[in-house]
Amino acid sequence: MRVIVDKSHSRRKKARFSRLLRKPYNKIALNVLTVVIATLSAVFIWDGQDLLGYLLAALASVGLSLLLWREGELKSLPAKLPAQGQDLILSKALDRRALGRIKSYETPYDVWKGIEGSWREKFFTFRYGIDRKFIEDNVSKNSADSVSLWSKALELARLENQESITIAAIYVSLLASIDGYEQYLARLHLEPNDLIVGIDWQRHVELVGEKFEKTHSFGGMARDWSAGYTPLLNRLGQNISDQIEFQGGLLFRDNDAHQSAVNQMIKIFSQAPRPNVVLVGPQGVGKDTTVRSFAYKLLVDEGLSHSIEYNQVISISAPAILSQVSDKQSVETFMQQLLNEISQSKNTILYFENAHQFFEEGTGTVNLTSVLYPVLQSSNIKTIFTMTNDNWEKMSVEHQDVTNLLNKIVVQPADKATTFRIMEDQILLIENQQKVLFKYQALQEAYRLSSRYMHGEEFPGKAISLLEAAVNHAEGNKVVTAQSVQATVEQTQGVKVSTAGGKERSKLLNLEEEIHKHMINQDRAVNVVSDALRRARSGVNNPNKPIGTFMFLGPTGVGKTELAKAIGRVFFGGEDRLVRVDMNNFVQASDVTRLLASTVENSSGLIAQITKQPYSVVLFDEIEKAHPDVVNVFLQLLDEGVLRDSKNNTVSFRDAIIITTSNAGAHIIREKIEAGVAVEEFEKDFLDQLIESNQFRPEFLNRFDEMVVFRPLTKPELLQVVDLLMASVNRNLARQKVQVALSEDARHWLVENGYDARLGARPLRRMIQRSVENIVAKKLLEDSFMPGSTLQLTAAELEASGAKG
């Protein structure tokens, strides 16, 4: 394919002249001067100064001709792309605006200078955060590279079904011509395809602007003269058709899912014996948008049946009705009046949003089945209902007679490409209302994070909700970025999704050290857990699994639970981030139901706690005690990071670290250690033995990231545990402004008397309580221990406390 630059082509000259005439100041000047000169010419001719008057009239005529030419031919200058294999003649194929701007086609750099500063170039610069300097410094200044630039631009125009090579296509092609542009885009968290999507997005933004320049009649002044008055409905309902008419049309592009539902609605209301529709789909799927799309079609589509042409779609809600009347009898009478009004109006389609509110008693809901059923049966008025799948199922059971009368249309969730198109459309509205600007990366992040964290809603609704909320986290210059979206998710979901920085980064790099401030030894366990947390915060873990899944094995009192607590404290920000489930309470098969009880059923259960704070350490203590059916529940949790609660809602554990502890085989560990065998030497055999013993099923154990054997603590380690426990005592005493210190013999005394081979270090805490804390308490009450002083305790004093019992 040859690229031909025909600078003398008339279309190019017209495009350049058009640009000159359309520059804002020139445009105003031409309009004003033409009018002023024409007026002056009339004045002079009237005044008898014919020569001057007619010469001015001649000048005004030139202005008029230019005006008419500008608004006629020069406004569009349609382009024509070459057929496959034909030469590319730029003067024919380029969009009018591109042709008008680009002076030289010699090198890609010249082309860049031509489009730089145009609105279409700024669109990419600001939406995607692409630095102009990157293009300026790197785009080729070699004329030999021009052919590939134009070939790529033509390919993009064809790919995006454009009628010409637009500035957007040229921009993307210019960027793609730069060596290393993919790496540059990667730094901006973009892929080449994201920019290609931008070509269509930009075209849409332009079309929205053009659409609103045109005026629509939407049926004209006499449209509703044959329709009855609806004063009651006007007071209570929201006229969706009026809203669409007021804003001049719809701002969003049609998509296949909605279009199919809208076509079905038109068919049903035109032909079906029962003029009603129920749109069923999960929350956020776009049921309301579908209704709006339908209302718009009724206003603008030609060739519709007269029975629905220009019909008004008016929505009502149960709370609106309940705000007018309170008791059941009055509500029914009121509703009957409303329905009579609608029936009389002849051009109203009544839209019951969240229709279940009209079929059940409760707060903000009212059961109007007895009023609505006869209306549906008689097909007297046209109705639209929207419901979630759950509510539809419930209705189908409780009000089968009603659901049998309804024409059901299922609205499916949008796929990724459609969700992006809808987000691109919706942010124009949000930007207009909130005076902010969204970066494309914010849209990407909204899609990714809503997919991961917003399980109660479907696409595209959940992504849009997140973008709306992210406006509150817009950066100083009112720009909503990916970070704004991350901050929103962190605030609303209680998870960490932004990149670790500053203090947190340093904490992560020294995590083992931080954890060891709270527990002694068990280096391997501390290391594997720290590694998992680092992987999660740096984003290299599998996002479809929990942060880490671990089984800690070992005797009681060796630090298994303490490690879980330490992680909660050090990494997750507090011990309240530890969700602890004692598996002793789940020994029956029927306990599965209790474990999976939904938030509504048990507000302090596992599901409720993880829903409230998904970013947690979840500790399943003594897993060997749980019933095998309960253990089976964990297979999905460990594998996919999700559980389904009793209401079949998906609950995510993907931001949690899962720790299970078990005392299984504790005696073997103790025996081996007492025999002087190091953990590393017997760990593998021990785990094999554990599998063979059938205490746990192999598929269960295989699902853990790591199984770690905790060994009993040695005496020097126990002395360190005493120090840790004493530090804790002193933290509590800080409020009294006193401190307590132990002599060396006192530390040894505590280890000798507080350590139990069967119970590990756990009795140490009780011993400190009974000895040290009791002594301190008495001294404080006797006023013999003044604020600011440190109490030194010896072994003899501890012995004298009687703590040994």
Partner 1 sequence: MLIVSFFTWWYSRGWLNELHGLSARLTKVANIFSVPILLRTMFNPWKQITTTSFKDSSLDEKIKALVDNIFSRIVGFFVRLIALFLAFISILITGVYSILRIILWPAIPLLPFIFTFIGLTGGL
**Which residues lie near partner 1 (CB under 8 A)?**
8, 10, 13-14, 17, 50-55, 57-59, 61-62, 64-65, 68-69, 72-73, 217, 219-223, 225-229, 306, 310, 344-346
Tokens of 487: 């901050």
Q: Output the smallest distance, CB 62 to partner 1, in A.
A: 5
The answer to whether the CB of 594 falls within 8 A of the CB of 605 is yes
Residue number with CB closer to partner 1 (219 or 249)? 219
Q: Which of 298, 307, 286, 292 is nearest to 240 (CA)?
A: 292
Q: Between residues 60 and 775, which has the closer beta carbon with respect to partner 1? A: 60
Q: Minimum Å distance from CB 108 to partner 1?
A: 29
Contact criterion met (CB below 8 Å) for 352 and 229: no
Task: Fill in the amino acid letter for 526.
Answer: V
Beta strands 479-480 and 382-387: pairing type? unpaired
Torsion of CA 228, 231, 236, 240, to 10 degrees: 40
Q: How far is the CB of 80 from partner 1 (least distance, A)?
A: 15
CB of 101 or CB of 421, closer to partner 1: 101
Radius of gyration of the chain (CA): 37
Go through 216-233 and write b for each residue having 16 or more CB atoms within 10 A of its CB, e for each that does not: eebeeeebeeeeeebeeb
Residues in a beta bridge with 239: 314
What is the nearest approach in angstroms of partner 1 to the Cβ of residue 215? Answer: 8
Min CB(453)–partner 1 separation in Å: 49
CB of 74 to partner 1, least distance (A): 9
The distance of closest approach from Cβ of residue 78 to partner 1 in the complex, given in angstroms and rounded to an integer, is: 11
CA distance 671 to 159: 72
We find the least distance from the C-beta atom of residue 177 to partner 1, in angstroms, to be: 33
Q: Work out how close the CB of 58 gets to partner 1 at its nearest, in angstroms, rounded to a whole number.
A: 4
Cα separation, 174 vs 153, in Å, equals: 8
Q: How far is the CB of 222 from partner 1 (least distance, A)?
A: 4
Taking the complex as a whole, how short is the minimal distance between the CB of residue 447 and partner 1, in angstroms? 41
**Residue nearer to partner 1 on the CB measure, 17 or 184:** 17
Is the CB of 67 or the CB of 701 nearer to partner 1? Answer: 67
CA 305 to chain centre: 41
- Which residue's CB is nearer to partner 1, number 70 or number 672? 70
- For 215, the token pair is 């005026």
Residue closer to partner 1 (CB basis): 341 or 622: 341
Number of Cα atoms under 13 Å in the Cβ half of residue 336: 9
**Which tokens is 326 given?**
């309170």
Contact yes or no for 668/689 (Cβ under 8 A): yes
- Least Å distance, CB 15 to partner 1, is 11
Between 4 and 59, whose beta carbon lies closer to partner 1? 59
The three-class DSSP label of residue 769 is helix
How far apart are the C-alpha atoms of 353 and 355, rounded to whole Å?
A: 5
* Nearest Cα residue to 70 out of 112, 107, 21, 120: 21
CB 708 within 8 A of CB 551: yes
Cβ closest to partner 1, residue 217 vs residue 491: 217
Type and span of the H or E element at 292? helix 287-300
Asked whether 37 and 53 are in contact (CB, 8 A), the reply is no
Closest distance between partner 1 and the C-beta of residue 341, in Å?
Answer: 10
Closer residue to partner 1, CB minimum distance, 40 or 188: 40
Distance, first Cα to last Cα, the chain = 99
Q: Indicate the burial class of 649 (C-beta count within 10 angstroms; 0-12, 13-18, 19 or more).
A: middle
Of residues 59 and 251, the one with the C-beta less far from partner 1 = 59
Whether the link from the prior residue into 460 is cis, omega within 30° of 0, is: yes
> At its nearest, how many Å lie between partner 1 and the CB of residue 33?
14
**Least spacing, CB of residue 457 vs partner 1, in Å:** 41
Torsion angle (degrees, nearest 10) of CA 61, 62, 68, 70: -160
Which is nearer to partner 1, 64 or 719 (by Cβ)? Answer: 64
Tell me whether residue 306 or residue 731 sits nearer to partner 1 (CB atom).
306
> How many CB atoms within 10 Å of residue 627?
17
CA distance linking residue 531 with residue 548, whole number of Å = 9
- In whole angstroms, how close is the CB of 379 to partner 1 at the nearest point? 18
Is 226 or 433 the residue whose CB approaches partner 1 more closely?
226
Q: How far is the CB of 275 from partner 1 (least distance, A)?
A: 18
Closer by beta carbon to partner 1, 129 or else 228: 228
3-state secondary structure of 369: helix
CB of 32 to partner 1, least distance (A): 19
- Which residue, 53 or 605, is less far from partner 1 as judged by CB? 53
Whole-number Cα distances in Å, 429 to 157, 252, 433, 676: 27, 9, 6, 72
607-612 long-range contacts, Cβ below 8 Å, gap at least 24? Answer: 607/643, 607/645, 607/651, 609/579, 610/579, 610/651, 610/652, 610/653, 610/656, 611/651, 612/494
Q: Nearer Cβ to partner 1, position 38 or 428?
A: 38
Q: Percentages helix, strand, coil for the chain, rounded to the nearest 5?
A: 60, 10, 30
Measured CA to CA, the distance from residue 779 to residue 799 in angstroms comes to 16
In Å, what is the CA distance from 153 to each residue of 126, 156, 175, 197?
A: 21, 5, 11, 14
Q: Which is nearer to partner 1, 62 or 159 (CB)?
A: 62
Residue 126 CB-half CA count within 13 A = 16
